[in-house]
Amino acid sequence: MRMFLFTLLTVLASTAFQIVRSGATINDVPQFFSREGSIAELWQMGTNASTVTLYGSQLSTCTQRVELILKEKDVPYIFVPVNLKEKEQKSEAHLSMQPFGQVPVLIDGSMQLFESRAIGRYIAARYPFRGAPLYPMVNITRMAWTEQAASVELTDFDPVLSGLLFEMISKGGKPDMKRVQYLKDQLISKMQGYERILSKQKYLAGDALTIADLFHLPVGTAAIKKLDLIWYDGFPNIERWWKDISSRPAWKEIESR
Ligand SMILES: N[C@@H](CCC(=O)N[C@@H](CS)C(=O)NCC(=O)O)C(=O)O
């Protein structure tokens, strides 16, 4: 009986802690408790019993995105290297986990997941009590802003910088210069949008760090290192934001490998 009461109090205390940490207001609380299965979910979330395994390549930006969220959330994991040069990602065993023959793949107990950003969201939502609070699940407004910022990263930021990396690096010295110019023009217009956002708030989804900010780090850093392209040059608020997020210990550890 005592054990039961202790367990119940622990669950309630950690629930309250999560609500406060997520920035929810008192109006959000009934909605939080009315979620189907929420107590069971919370129990599972708080206990963190399963073993997390990440299949990937440490040099791939997609794998780095997942490792970054795992480290920020302080979730221990086993890393299984997939040799992309040897095409291990196209093996039948890997295709059974990732139907497109790519990395990363995450296994968490009975859960199997691919797509780096989906994995990042999952980790941040699944482990709310660990590490930095990166995904506001309770406050729907803040969740929507996080999704808005994550969508901008996926559809505006990543295609431009990945496109430049593809033209200038992956094509082995034969870039399509018309496309390069188009992407450079796009970059300026996208940076103007980022500067407008970041001149009003500290991070992309408001004044708290979220997964959306962190999702930028792998490709943003690759562009700086491989293209020597300081893409935020001339945009003081983007520069301030970038220096903030790129100096986080979790990212420093990943980029220094
Ligand atoms: N949208 C996927 C992209 C996955 C992807 O492109 N992975 C690359 C590494 S960053 C890969 O596996 N490349 C090897 C290949 O396509 O064969 C994600 O974010 O996970």
CATH of 52-126 given 3.40.30.10, 3.40.50.720, 2.60.120.330, 3.90.1300.10: 3.40.30.10
Angstrom distance (rounded) from CA 82 to CA 49: 25
Is residue 18 within 6 Å of ligand 1 at its C-beta? Answer: no
Give the CATH number of domain 140-255. 1.20.1050.10
Percent of the chain that is helix, strand, coil (3-state, to 5): 60, 10, 30
Asked whether the beta carbons of 97 and 114 are under 8 A apart, the reply is: yes
Q: From atom 16 of ligand 1, which residue's Cα is the shortest distance away?
A: 102
Q: Which residue has the tokens 């010295």?
A: 173
Which helix (H) or strand (E) segment is 25 a member of? none
Cβ–ligand 1 contact at 101 (below 6 Å): yes
Q: Which of 23-27, 28-32, 37-41 has the highest mean pLDDT?
A: 37-41
pLDDT digits (tens, 9 = 90+) for 97-139: 999 999 999 999 999 999 999 999 999 999 988 999 999 999 9
Cβ atoms < 10 Å from Cβ of 3:
7
Give residues with Cβ within 8 angstroms of 26, minimum separation 6: none
98 lines ligand 1 (CB under 6 A): no
| Span between the terminal Cα atoms of the chain, in Å | 50
DSSP reduced 3-state for 56: strand
pLDDT-derived band of residue 13, with 50, 70 and 90 as boundaries?
A: low
Q: What is the pLDDT of residues 196-235, one digit of tens each?
A: 999 999 999 999 999 999 999 999 999 999 999 999 999 9
Q: What is the pLDDT of residue 9?
A: 67
Q: Could you give the 3-state DSSP secondary structure of residue 202?
A: coil
- Eight-class DSSP state of 175: -
CA distance 255 to 257: 6
Tokens matching residue 211 = 């997964």
At position 43, the amino acid (one-letter code) is W
By DSSP bridging, strand 52-56 and strand 105-108 are antiparallel
Identify which of 55, 59, 62 to mutate to test ligand 1's pocket (most ligand atoms within 8 A of the CB). Answer: 62
**Pairing relationship of beta strands 77-81 and 52-56 according to DSSP bridges:** parallel
For a ligand 1 pocket test, name from 64, 90, 103, 165 the mutation site with the most ligand atoms within 8 angstroms of its C-beta: 103
Both tokens assigned to 136? 């506001």
pLDDT at 61 over 50: yes
Would you list the domain boundaries of the chain? 2-47, 52-126, 140-255
